[in-house]
Structure 1
Amino acid sequence: MKKVFTVLSCAFIMLLTSCQFSENIYINEDGSGKVKFSMDASEMMDVLGQLGENASDEMSKAVDSTIVFKDFLVEYKDSIANLSVGEQEKIKAMEDYKIHMVMDPDKKKMFFDLETDFDDASELRDMYKAMNSFNNLKGDDTASDNLPLSPFSSMGNEGSTLVSYSYDGTVFRRNAEIIDLEKHQKSLDSIDKSALMLGSSKYIINYHFPKAVKSFSKEGAMYSDDRKTVTYEVGFIDMLKDPEILNIEVVLED
């Protein structure tokens, strides 16, 4: 179980460095689908030293690890029972998620995927709640209490920003709203300390639909040849400072 927490802590460090973040949503005809949140921190492999000597040694060799949390809860139920109630709740919140992480020091590759299935687009707002549960996981010695807040700490049901999604078969909407201005400002003050590391990072959305896209509410989007996939990117810091820049409406062909 300690190695699992080491992997999670390494992925958490990725959230504090210069990464490329992408939000990938795949929607089926019936409105169900899959969401995958991806981070690529290949440029920041050297940051592993921040994890401490033991964790750095542990991750000095190539790692290709997948954690299916539903199975993880069963396999490690005895160890999980010894954690604090708060830590148990954070792990439980990840029950429907799967994490895939690849680290290859020789090839300087480091990326991470967090994914889950959904029955309705309205369930997608829980993705950020799960992200924050994941961000806050700590092993016995693998994460430092002195690490700065994750850039995503302001998002989700317990943060200052609420992100919601809807889809009625023709129109897909992503809507972000700041629900606590004071808390949002505090999160920005914390993020400013990491601005130099995050300044070049992008937040990219890739939405895949069962029908061709008729219109997209933002200029500068790119489309696949069949127009069923739309890609749009903004600066990561820009998105954190003004979440509403990713308020999007997508209209599909009839």
Structure 2
Amino acid sequence: MRLYKLLGFCFLVATLTSCTFTENIYINDNGSGKFSVDMDGSSLMEMAGDQIAGQMGDDAKKDIDSTFTFKQLFEQKKDSIAKLSPETQKELKKLENFVVTTKMSSAKKQFLMTLGTDFKNVNELQDILQTLSTFQKLEGGANASPLGSGFGDNNSKLSYTYDGKKFTRKATIDQQKLAAKPKDSAADMSKMVFASSSYVVKYHFPKKIKKVSNPNALFSDDRKSITIQYTFTDYMENPDKLNFDVEFEK
């Protein structure tokens, strides 16, 4: 299956059904680590797997287990990218090292997608989710982020910091961008779809956690990992509700 066709289908899944989005961060002792966003759209396969198989044609007759990098995708779309502004091209370049893994099975009613990358310092991830919305500027195929319409474009700037003593996730609302965003029926439709979706953060640290500012955080047995679940509506409309600090034991 061509990469862009696959991304187009991913966009369709994320737009038409409730999904669970999971933001994962693994931080090592030296501050390096792995970042990923997982999308589980299996609920759509459960409800409409046969219809999707008809839409996908021969591609749906066998299970899909696909892995590629955005760098490969950008090579396919290099002519379109060359027409974009230097600023937009620079934004897209941030995604080159992201690896996209997709598993789809009509028989198993499964649709899973992961976007992941390594980092040397968590500060490298500033606004990385917002960068995904840059996909809407590419021609053809998926006309938005592969994780669905509006994903990452929640009118905020997201930053992460970690110094060994404290970790912070902070989204700052961009009031100017929020005021300029049009109110339309498409936005209302997205709101209806995402009302039943979830956004989960799972963070894994090299040290034991002393405390977390969010009272809903669930700890792993070794107290080195936390899981916090939000509604996707909060992620889209109140991204600062996902802000929290983590303090570690000495």
Give the whole-Å Cα distance in 1 for the aligned partners of 2:119 and 2:70: 16
> Is 2:148 the partner of 1:179?
no
Check if 1:203 corresponds to 2:199: yes
TM-score (norm: length of structure 1): 0.82
Report the Cα offset of residue 118 of structure 1: 1.0
Moved more, 35-44 or 175-184: 175-184
Aligned to 2:82: 85
User: For residue 160 of structure 2, what is the aligned residue in structure 1?
Assistant: 165
- Partner deviation per Cα, 1:96-145 (whole Å, 9 max, x = no partner): 11000111011110010000111111111242144223465554xx4479
Q: Unpaired segments of 5 or more residues in structure 1?
A: none
For residues 128 and 42 of structure 1, do their structure 2 counterparts lie closer, same or farther at Cα, with a shift above 3 Å needed?
Answer: same
What residue number does 1:42 align with? 42
Deviation readout 1:47-68 (Å, 9 max, x if unpaired): 89689x7x62153232110002
Aligned to 1:233: 229
- Which secondary structure does the structure 1 equivalent of 2:9 belong to? helix
Q: Distance in 2 between matches of 1:170 and 1:106?
A: 47
Whole-Å Cα distance in 2 between the matches of residues 26 and 131 of structure 1?
20
* Shift >6 Å, 4+ stretches: none
Contact map agreement 1:214 1:253 (CA 8 A) in 2: yes
Call closer, same or farther: CA 1:194–1:30 in 2, change over 3 Å.
same
Change (3 A) 1:15 1:42: same
CA change 1:7–1:137 in 2 (3 A) is farther
Equivalents in 1 of 2:150, 2:128: separation in Å? 15
Q: Report the aligned-residue RMSD.
A: 2.9
1:221 aligns with 2:220: no
C-alpha distance in 2 between matches for 1:81 and 1:134: 13
Alpha-carbon separation, structure 1, partners of 2:83 and 2:20 = 30
Distance across 1 between alignment mates of 2:107 and 2:69: 26
Q: In structure 1, how many angstroms separate the alpha carbons of the residues matched to 2:110 and 2:173?
A: 35
Per-residue deviation at 1:8? 1.0
Are residues 226 and 114 of structure 1, via their aligned partners in 2, closer, same or farther at CA, if it must alter by over 3 Å? same
Looking at structure 1, the residues matched to 177 and 70 of structure 2 have their Cα atoms a distance apart, in angstroms, of 34
Q: Does 1:120 align with 2:121?
A: yes
Paired letter, 1:25: I
1:138-179 Cα offsets, whole Å, 9 max, x none, are 54xx4479xxx8232524xxxx31000100111000000111
Deviations 1:68-105 (A, max 9, x none): 234x26xx84x444435257937644211100011101
Q: Which residue of 2 aligns with 1:67?
A: 68
From 244, 247, 250, give the equivalent of 1:251.
247
Structure 1 stretch displaced more, 6-15 or 105-114 = 6-15
Assess if the C-alpha contact under 8 Å between 1:213 and 1:250 holds in 2: yes
What is the SS of the residue equivalent to 1:220?
A: coil
> Counterparts of 1:96 and 1:203 in 2: how far apart (Å)?
24
Q: How many equivalent residue pairs?
A: 238
Q: 2:132 matched to which residue of 1?
A: 131
Q: Which segments of 5 or more consecutive residues in structure 2 lack a partner in the other structure?
A: none
Tell whether the 8 Å contact from 1:26 to 1:209 is kept in structure 2 after alignment.
yes
- Match in the other structure for 1:18: 18
